[in-house]
Amino acid sequence: MGLNDSSPGAMRNGRGLSDQWAESVVVRPRTTERHITVHKRLVLGFALSILTLIIVTAVAVVLSVRFEECGGRDRDGAAGESGSRGSGGSARMNGSRGEKTGERGEEEAVQPWRNLRLPGSLRPRHYDLQLAVYMDNFTFSGEVSIELECVNATRFIVLHTDRLEVCGRPTNRPGGGAMRIHRHFPYPANQMYVVVLHRELKPVRIYRLNVSFDAAIEDELLGFFRSSYTLQRERRYLAVTQFSPIHARKAFPCFDEPVYKATFSLTLRHDPQYTSLSNMPVESSLLSDEDGWVTNRFARTPRMSTYYLAWAVCNFTYKETQTDSGVTIRLYARPDAIASGAGDYALHITKRLLGFYQDYFKVQYSLPKLDLLAVPKHPYAAMENWGLSVFVEQKILLDAEVSSSSYQMELTMVVVHEICHQWFGDLVTPVWWEDVWLKEGFAHFFEYVGTDFLFPKWNMEKQRFLTDVLHEVMLLDGLSSSHPISQEVQQATDIDRVFDWIMMVLGPISADQHDVISLHMGCLRSDYLLSHMYSNAAREDLWNKLSQAMHSEGRDIDVGGMMDRWTLQMGYPVVTISKNQSEQLPTHYITVNQEHFLYGQEVRNHSLHWQVPLTIAVGNTSTVGSESLIWINNKTEIHRIGYMDDKTWLLGNINQTGYFRMNYDLHNWKLLIQQLHNNHQVCLSVYLSKNTILLILSFVLSLRAGYLPQGVPLQLIGYLPEETSFLPWHSASRALYQLDKLLDRTDEYSLFSDYVLKQVAARYHQMGWPTNVPGNDGNMLQASYQTEELQRELIMLACSFGNKQCHRQAVAYISDWISSNKNRIPPNIRDIVYCTGVSLMDEDVWEFIWMKFHSSNAVSEKKILLEALTCSDNIFLLNRLLNLSLTSDLVPEQDVIDVIIHVGRNPQGRNLAWKYFREKWDILNARYGEALFMNSKLIGGVTEFLNTDRELQELKEFIHSSGVGAGPALPRALEIVEGNVRWHRLHRRQFYQWLRKPPSP
């Protein structure tokens, strides 16, 4: 979209404002002196009239000045936002009745503030922003001077503001073209602030607007918000920004859309006991002789979008390092965390990553420094502000003595993701939110590339991406409530729905064919980034670059035409291969069919189809043939593959290179299952890596869709006792936990748990339990990582599904810890042991874990201790935990959602969490509703395993009464629960019948 794009509509309920004072002035011709007959009484009357007019004017001016001051309120709320801080005190009075009488002249026809997008007539070039931060009462005041370039002649300056008190009249700052301000007012419905001028601004000329304002440092997680922590029993506070996607307007008047890039000069004034940080280094620092406050002026930024501007005021300490190219990297955190070395790991890998990405993308990092800020609470895992990336503590602080391998991996990938954003996002930014996947999708893909660079033994790029990301996204994208990767975003409330897992997958790009992926990456490393650096890009820009790269390699492929089918329509296909049974065609032909994959088969969209790159291999019990590639363009096609007999199996989508699911005729499924049971290693030879097994096992996740008889996925799982590798077990366990939550309240649940334990037992006993070797420092970065993770996966499965020996070992560890007050539990399995112990042991153990949660300073340890408390079978304790989480400061605010979700995952707590969620919805929605991801995470987590008719009806009633403001999360939850109920009605009996008498392999 260009600068002039705008869309009609409204974001919130609210009334606009117009000018009540815009009266026409009638100018009469002058009368010459000789035509006037003067009478003394007339003169006296005229003098009295003039005197009265002067007095009335003086009173009006005084009243006007009073209302121009900050804090002026429209008590009737006619022009402001009812019940909240408006966009400006004086502006509320300007035009509070204007909406009733209407605008006159040009304003009656042209009111750009009513559009959902900024008009595009003006473009900001530079912001000079000065702020004074008052941490004693959590307020701040500021003044912003915006250098504006006029693109098209206009009388209106339209900015974004939200919850700001505009002080007095905006002014025309010297240094730009002259402009006279006629009036100014907020338009809360679209979070805009309007300055109306007497005359039009001229194109190509530069103007400067100055606006003063003040606001609160809110106790929420967006805009400029406050947080706190305890150090030596003293409560300390900090304040930090979170502007993505549309919350810079909460901190200063601005053009808060990503396409309006500008440079920023920031000055922060605050109490000297605090440190201030921003995107750029401090350029100058002054200490006031009058009040002792410090004023830090930061260097001018490169051109960037408003949502990447950031600052923080805190009393943290830091450690630093420097890259070979001279970039200073600092990690800021609580003083005790820095002293303990909890930030050292993230600092170390950040230094390596900056060098790696500079070489990989062939574009230097653009700023002289990069600060990593670890804050106690944050709405996301992290935010990639350019030069000042902000992380929640759990995603950047690592306590080596107590952190598990899984925790370290998760932390690593968050850091890798945010560092990648310094190029994809900060340097090159999407034009508009409909293409947010241009930054999130690439960052999510490159986090596996970057992690693979750091730790090749983890095999992240080739394998964990499939199990931990791709299959999770396919679960969401297989719903009728899904949406296209690129989707229209018209207003601010629509932005929430594009920030989910679906936009983090790049369809076929994220897993392309063979050497084409290297061609794509070469293009991205050079042309794409260099062409759009310090600017914006849309999906067409990427497709054009990729098409050019294809043509230069002699490949005449319309990338845009192909990719639009993947990005502009929802969902993905299930591709079914069938051996041709027709007598008219020989046996070396296959029929390939594609259809829209959906969990709810009744609502399939038969009009959707994709251009599918399908790789196929054929094999039998002893050999695997060569791989071939065919393109599927239609709903049904016939293709020649090669000679096949009754013992030849087919395997499609090798290594999951395409974003679609595979299905086969039942005979082919039978051959694949036999291959896995009898000699599964053949499937791993030559081209067929272990990702092939992941692909087969992933179909278990779609069991609820009913594409297969229930026994087929269970027979696939039955090969696991022969499997010695971590990733197939990891993929299978994710699928089994999904089934477990679907079945864990059924009368015949033991049939399922016994079947799982039968598959796990042999490998679990072979692998045993880890030992806590002194001096190992919990370091899992060695070659034994895959072995350690397999051991952990098997222990988790064994304990979760009721293996008695696993339970005894966990209880023994907890008992030893309580009696000796020494935690000898190996870090890699602490979460499993804690949860198992709490579920099996008495209330004293719960109290012991609760005490340890409060006394521990290690953020990773606190996380798993808190989650362990949700594993109790005691309803009283679960209810107590829920209430303490929401009504006290004993549980960190960002962890409350996890507590409710984990109680809901406990079969004993599911009804409790669901009831608690509904009763506290107003409180929860008020606290988290505006924070992207958090509300959606809460709704999905509490509802995804509801599966009875009664629970479905309760969900429908809840949506009917309270669905406003929840975005797409509630419709998605409804579809999932309907699918759960449908599966129980249609397939549960068949499922348990198979378990009672499974066929021999």
Binding residues for Zn(2+) are: 417, 421, 440
| C-alpha torsion 959→963→967→973, nearest 10 | -20
* Residues forming beta bridges with residue 785, ordered by sequence position: none
Non-local (6+) Cβ contacts of 36 within 8 A are none
DSSP string covering 444-480, please?
Answer: HHHHHHHHHHH-GGG-IIIIIHIIIIIHHHHHHHTST
CA proximity to 127, closest of 201, 211, 187, 183: 211
In this structure, the strands spanning 328-333 and 122-134 are unpaired
Q: How far apart are CA 480 and CA 199, in angstroms?
A: 52
Tokens 């935010």 label which residue?
Answer: 383
Measure CA of the first residue to CA of the last residue in the chain; give whole Å.
58
* Residues forming beta bridges with residue 183, ordered by sequence position: 196
Mark the binding-site residues, compressed into ranges. 417, 421, 440
CA angle, 53 as apex, 47 and 59 as ends, to 5°?
140
Q: How far apart are CA 673 and CA 663, in angstroms?
A: 13
CA dihedral (172, 170, 242, 139) positive or negative: positive
CA proximity to 866, closest of 472, 652, 875, 855: 855
CA dihedral (458, 460, 464, 468) positive or negative: positive
Q: How far apart are CA 917 and CA 911, in angstroms?
A: 10
Can you give the C-alpha Rg of the chain in angstroms? 32
Say which DSSP state 524 is in: I
CA proximity to 983, closest of 657, 817, 741, 796: 741
Contact 176, 170 (CB under 8 A): no
Tokens of 572: 């993905």
Q: How far apart are CA 266 and CA 372, in angstroms?
A: 19
Helix (H) or strand (E) holding 149: strand 139-150
Q: Determine the longest span between alpha carbons in the chain, in angstroms.
A: 124
418 catalytic residue (yes or no) = yes
Active-site choice (384, 393, 418, 978) = 418
Contact 723, 692 (CB under 8 A): no
Q: How far apart are CA 526 and CA 568, in angstroms?
A: 26
Tokens of 325: 């190219």
Contact 184, 169 (CB under 8 A): yes
Distances (CA, A) of 529 to 15, 379, 422, 435, 504: 43, 29, 11, 16, 19
691-694 contacts, C-beta under 8 A, 24 or more apart: 691/462, 691/463, 691/466, 691/654, 691/655, 691/656, 691/727, 692/651, 692/654, 692/655, 693/723, 693/727, 693/728, 693/731, 694/463, 694/466, 694/467, 694/656, 694/727, 694/728, 694/731
Where do the H-state alpha helices sit in 533-655? 539-552, 559-567
Q: What residues act catalytically?
A: 418
